[in-house]
Amino acid sequence: MQKNLVIVESPAKAKTIEKFLGKDYKVLSSYGHIRDLKDKGLSVDVRRNFEPDYVVPSNKQEIVKLLKKAAESAEIVWLASDEDREGEAIAWHLYTVLGLNENDSKRIVFHEITKNAILQAIENPRNINLNLVQAQQARRILDRIVGFELSPILWKKIMPSLSAGRVQSVAVRLIVEREREINAFEAEAFFRVQALFLMPDGKTIIRSELNKRFKTKVEAEAFLESLKDATFSVEDINTRPGKKSPAPPFTTSTLQQEAARKIGFSVSQTMSVAQKLYEAGLITYMRTDSLNLSTIALNASKKEIESEFGNNYVKIRQYRTKTKGAQEAHEAIRPTYISNRTIEATATEQKLYELIWKRTIASQMADAELEKTTVTINISNNPVDKFLVNGEVIKFDGFLRVYMEDNDDENQEESVETILPLMQLNDLLNLLEVTANERITQRPSRYTEASLVRKLEELGIGRPSTYAPTISTIQQRGYVIKGNKDGESRVFATLTLKNKMITSRTKTELVGADKNKLIPTDSGIVVNDFLIANFPLVLEYNFTADLEKEFDKVADGEIKWTETLHKFYKLFHPIVEGVSSTRTEHKIGERLLGNDPQTGKPVSVKVGRFGPFVQIGSADDEEKPQFASLAKGQSIETITMEEALQLFSLPRTVGEWDGKEIIAAIGRFGPYLKYDNTFTPIPKNYDPYHITKEEACQLIMEKKNKDANKIIKSFAENVNLRILNGRFGPYISYNKANYKIPSKTLPAELSYEEVMKIIAETPEKPAKRKVSKTTKGKSKK
């Protein structure tokens, strides 16, 4: 009989913990939740005080059978799932399904997987915290009710297969509102004036900036003109001490933000890599909003800083969480062993670990000490305007020796800061050059995954365990895409004053381009507008944040979980019934552009089952309406009548070449040319609506030549066998499968027999095994 059975969520965690415990302990994994609400139906009996109908899904029945058998043969079962609400719920479901009782089971928790932490947890077991379980249950049931009651209305009113979620819908709203701010933004031009001065020593050049901007080119030119006869002198030197303090250690959201900024990780990638580090015993628990560090961690940090940098670099701090509704009594995210600067792991794991190590160490280091100097330069014939020179000197680097936090502010202007030479009041300066550069005011930035997490946290919406799933869900549902936006070319003017001569030139820059930003789809916009119009309560930021506070109160034992659900359902359900019974005169999300000049029929844009489209005519007409899908990058929000009608001009005949038609069209993968039963993609710098015959012929010839060079060798013995040039070099193509050519082999000289031998000797690839989501550890809702 096995004396002790320890049950954790993931097999990786089980493997690490098993190393720390002796032969009397067996560690098994539940692979996340073993029980949940039924997939079909509401699975909640509202009339019976929101009684949930839990089931063990089919893909978990074998796991449950294995755990039951192991539990029956053990004297004590240790429920060691995570310390948060989701982990507590997993422990409770295990306790219930496995038929355990307080005599034969114990609940243990730890926020790091180290030998000391595990042994200490076993020495200090506790009972399952039913308040935490009920807080998780309340969230799960409330979210099921929202999804179950809203989704059928979306199918009925907009189109099939749509769905809505409580937190996800609020996240989509934020992204839609930001997109509308951007579309409504009108950029204003201004001129920024900078000057180069020569110091009295005749060698040193300093850069300065005028303390005002000009709205027009005329104003800027007039100012430059006034400088021709001016003299310049140092009017004031203001030197003041300054300091920079380190950022606190990582919480879930700040780790997600900083990993995106510094190492380019997506939110879900950050959490996946952090989970692996945690399960390997390398970092503390990664779902936390606490800034607290244990006494052991603080002492270890102090020792490491003293050893590496010296005693004057140490400043021990204990940070306090300011986030709305912060929960859980975990530590911040830190390395389990501060002395381990590096780890043996994959490249991505090493990058994230290094980030966590640096942030933890820096948080306990001394402030950086700075000296900031501002020099004011007087213009002799202008008592109002001044040129300013800003300098900054780091007197003591402190935490900057290790780490500096990034930020998401794309619109932050580059300041003119430098280490300044020794300057004296009334020094006369020689003007070398003045430039007035035209710039434009910056529109609001689209959200990145990381900046959206920060916004949700600021609003008190969601918790550490929900940020990553929320962002993944809104993309999976097709309401938001992480994509790029092409900018537009804009001409900027530059005026230069040099040797008392003013010259003017222009330059073209790309403005407004975006990369890897969250952009709402037309489906997301239509669903968002419908929900705001009909269910403002669900999408209200404060209401959603207040619900999170309600869950917190349930977790703290202040209120019953059913009270929260009764209160919500009493407000929500009557709205659902009212909206469901209301008839709409036109399709939700439809936008009327006007009437077609040729037919007089109405032209509208709307979202359909296969995406957004333009329609000419209506269902009531004798003639069937015409339809055209929107092109990539177009939106029902911004498309014009001209752009909409242009969509009906494709496919179009570009011309004839050698007696055969060249057709331009748009397909599933973008614009293309069809000629002689071959297809040629149309690159971004060409337009399928206006591409000329000459341009089309050139593209077709380029593709023909490329295809010709692609085939290194073909074989008369078998038309399906070819040696081709690929992206990574030559390879064998045979019956829709590809085969590597051995190194030091000349592909063009291979015979038919040699090629067939290479194919025969290539080991078969193992069939791809479908992995159940439940095998990836605990699923956070």
| 193: region left, alpha or beta (phi > 0 left; psi from -120 to 50 alpha) | beta
For residue 356, what are the β-bridge partners?
Answer: none
User: 597 vs 594, 601, 645, CA distance in Å?
Assistant: 9, 8, 10
Q: Please state, as a whole number, how many other Cβ atoms lie within 10 Å of the Cβ of residue 1.
A: 6
Q: Sheet of 729-734: strands edge to edge?
A: 711-715, 718-726, 729-734, 737-740
CA 285 to chain centre: 21
CA 261 to chain centre: 10
Q: Which of 25, 31, 95, 285 is catalytic?
A: 285
DSSP label at residue 337: S
User: Angle at which helices 347-362 and 252-263 pack, to 10 degrees?
Assistant: 120
CA-based nearest residue to 434, from 212, 218, 219, 210: 210
530 vs 479: CA distance, rounded Å: 13
**Residues 6 or more apart from 394 whose CB is under 8 A from it?**
368, 369, 370, 400
| H-type alpha helices, 462-612 | 467-476, 522-534, 536-539, 541-555, 561-581
Q: Sheet of 74-79: strands edge to edge?
A: 25-29, 2-8, 74-79, 105-107
399 vs 55: CA distance, rounded Å: 52
452: number of CA atoms within 13 Å, CB side? 31
Phi, psi at residue 576, to the nearest 5°?
-60, -50
CA-based nearest residue to 439, from 495, 385, 389, 390: 495
For residue 509, what are the β-bridge partners?
Answer: 490
Residue count of the chain, please give it.
781
Instruction: Specify the amino acid at residue 359.
Output: R
Degrees to nearest 5, angle at CA 202 with 198 and 208: 15
Q: Sheet of 626-629: strands edge to edge?
A: 591-595, 602-608, 611-616, 626-629
Contact 116, 104 (CB under 8 A): no
Helices and strands, counts by H and E, the chain: 20, 31
CA-based nearest residue to 742, from 761, 727, 721, 725: 761
CA 474 to chain centre: 11
Q: Is 383 helix (H, G, I), strand (E, B) or coil?
A: strand
Sequence-ordered strand ranges (E) for 151-278: 189-198, 205-210, 232-244
Is residue 11 reached through a cis peptide bond, with omega within 30 degrees of 0 on the bond before it?
Answer: no
Look up 686 and say whether it is catalytic: no
Question: Between β-strands 382-396 and 417-418, what pairing exists: parallel, antiparallel or unpaired?
Answer: parallel
Q: What amino acid positions are annotated as catalytic residues? A: 285
